[in-house]
């Protein structure tokens, strides 16, 4: 048996690479509160693409070792296919978004599509590393490398959450005549008496305080704010139906200090749970801004 493994090291390396590549894709595939990917058909699509990515990463190793460099050019075709996957996810989620009571928003959709493309590349990395160690060293080193690669890919599968960029505390929802406030931040004008009564009964508000000026600009992003509202509405529910714009959750900035006020009418009135949802909501990659990283220098005055 050991002699056969030694003789068929390329085959063993490719098989181990595919197995660990698929294991990496399975470990990164979750159907969470966002209900995406759907079960089971959405998962089947992504597992099939994961198998293709694992096969590509594994087969690339024997090609490189045999100096068959032209064979590696098929990876560029794989990259094109995964970009098409990103476009597919974007189009699908955009169509679904029009049917949501509280939409995700284009920024959130782009982030989800980017994640699904990127995870296929992580599968290629895992299968490549596993196959490389299996063929160059021994099969047991390939298994060890595959486990390490899966741990590494799971570390990079998710980004930061709101808890990394802001403090969150519950705010007081109050009405000053027709004007609605969360603490001292103005939200909107409420004209209908029935709507004001509903807000007094079910209104909930939170204040997000950015940790620094980079975080302040990120929280100000409209797409990031819409993502927060969507996550809250998905988990806690939203007390509104189609055609009721006055009951739509809102997030408004205090222009003076960058604080963000969040107002919503949840189906499940649980302030502690809502706060945890806000803290664990993802920071969208396309919403991140770092003005502190600029290298602008003050102009020198001559004379």
What residue segments make up the domains of the chain, in order of their start? 2-156, 162-287
DSSP 8-state code for residue 133: H
Q: Would you say residue 303 has pLDDT above 50?
A: no
CATH architecture, domain defined by 162-287? 2-Layer Sandwich (3.30)
What's the mean pLDDT in 259-268?
88
Instruction: Give me the pLDDT at residue 291, please.
Output: 61
Using a cut of 0.75, tell me whether the model's pTM lies above it.
Answer: yes
pLDDT tens column, 184-224: 888 888 878 888 888 888 888 899 998 888 888 888 888 88
- Indicate the burial class of 220 (C-beta count within 10 angstroms; 0-12, 13-18, 19 or more): middle
What's the mean pLDDT in 52-56?
83
288: left (phi over 0), alpha (psi -120 to 50) or beta: beta
Is residue 247 within 8 A of residue 265, CB to CB? The reply is: yes
pLDDT tens column, 70-97: 766 777 777 777 787 788 778 878 887 7
**Among 216, 234, 228, 238, residue whose Cα is nearest residue 282:** 228
Rounded to whole angstroms, how far apart are CA atoms 217 and 238?
Answer: 27
DSSP 8-state code for residue 194: H
DSSP 8-state code for residue 286: G
Q: Would you say residue 33 has pLDDT above 70?
A: no
pLDDT, averaged across the chain: 80
Of 112-126, 219-233, 236-250, minimum mean pLDDT range: 236-250
Instruction: Give me the pLDDT at residue 99, please.
Output: 78
Strand duo 204-210 + 185-189: pairing: unpaired
Q: Would you say residue 25 has pLDDT above 60?
A: yes
User: 299 CB contacts (<8 Å, ≥6 apart)?
Assistant: none
pLDDT tens column, 156-182: 777 788 888 888 888 888 888 888 888
């Amino acid at each position: 048996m050991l002699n056969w493994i030694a003789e068929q090291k390329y085959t063993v390396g490719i098989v181990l690479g595919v197995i660990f590549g698929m294991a990496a894709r399975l470990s990164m595939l979750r159907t969470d509160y966002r209900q995406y990917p759907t079960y089971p058909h959405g998962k089947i699509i992504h597992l099939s693409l994961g198998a293709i990515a694992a096969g590509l990463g594994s087969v690339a190793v024997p090609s490189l070792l045999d100096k068959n460099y032209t064979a590696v050019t098929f990876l560029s075709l794989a990259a094109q296919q995964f970009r098409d996957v990103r476009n597919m996810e974007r189009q699908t989620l955009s169509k679904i978004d029009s049917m949501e009571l509280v939409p995700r928003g284009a920024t959130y959709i782009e982030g989800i599509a980017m994640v699904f493309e990127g995870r296929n590349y992580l599968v290629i990395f895992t299968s490549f590393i596993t196959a490389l160690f299996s063929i160059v060293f021994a099969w047991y080193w390939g298994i060890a490398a595959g486990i390490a690669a899966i741990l590494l890919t799971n570390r990079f599968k998710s980004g930061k959450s709101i808890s990394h960029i802001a403090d969150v505390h519950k705010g007081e929802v109050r009405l000053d005549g027709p004007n609605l406030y969360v603490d001292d931040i103005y939200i909107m004008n409420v004209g209908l008496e029935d709507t004001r009564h509903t807000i007094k009964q079910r209104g909930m508000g939170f204040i997000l305080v950015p940790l620094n000026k980079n975080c302040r600009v990120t929280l100000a992003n409209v797409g990031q704010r819409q993502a927060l509202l969507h996550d809250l509405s998905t988990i806690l529910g939203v007390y509104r139906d189609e055609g009721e714009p006055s009951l739509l959750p809102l997030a408004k900035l205090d222009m003076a200090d960058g604080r963000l006020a969040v107002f919503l009418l949840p189906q499940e009135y649980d302030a502690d749970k809502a706060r945890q949802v806000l803290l664990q909501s993802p920071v969208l990659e396309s919403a991140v801004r770092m003005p502190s990283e600029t290298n602008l220098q003050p102009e020198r005055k001559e004379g």
